Amino acid sequence: MAIDANVLINERIREELRNGMPPHSAIHAGYDHAWHTILDSNVTTLIAGLALMIFGSGPVRGFAIVHCLGILTSMFSAVLVSRGLVHLWYGRRRKLTSLAIGQVWKPENKG
């Protein structure tokens, strides 16, 4: 789930860059827009883990506990830690003109 969350964030930032936002604004908007999707997917997975914890026994309950802890820590690391690292890397003081996660190729306009 943590890798999935970071892929979602990356794609949202790329989408904001394609829409013409400056890099710092695209980073901020990308994290903000991806948050709801990340939260929904992790809550859904946590519900399944809680069901296993409540109705399971023995090893299944142990798996459910580790599963829920893993989801919570991956959500924390995907959203808070990666956002902190991105802000540390790109910094607030630097004036960015582009990001390395932009488009590799441009789609053809058939119109």
CA distance 58 to 62: 6
Interval 14-72: pLDDT, tens: 899 888 888 888 889 999 999 999 999 999 999 999 999 999 999 999 999 999 999 99
For residues 92-106, give the mean pLDDT: 67
CA distance 35 to 11: 12
Predicted confidence at residue 66, as pLDDT, reads 96
Structure tokens at 64: 């459910």
pTM for the model stands at: 0.76
H or E segment to which residue 42 belongs:
helix 23-55
**Could you tell me the pLDDT band of residue 110, with boundaries at 50, 70 and 90?**
low
H or E segment to which residue 7 belongs:
helix 2-18
Listed by start position, the domains of the chain span 2-90
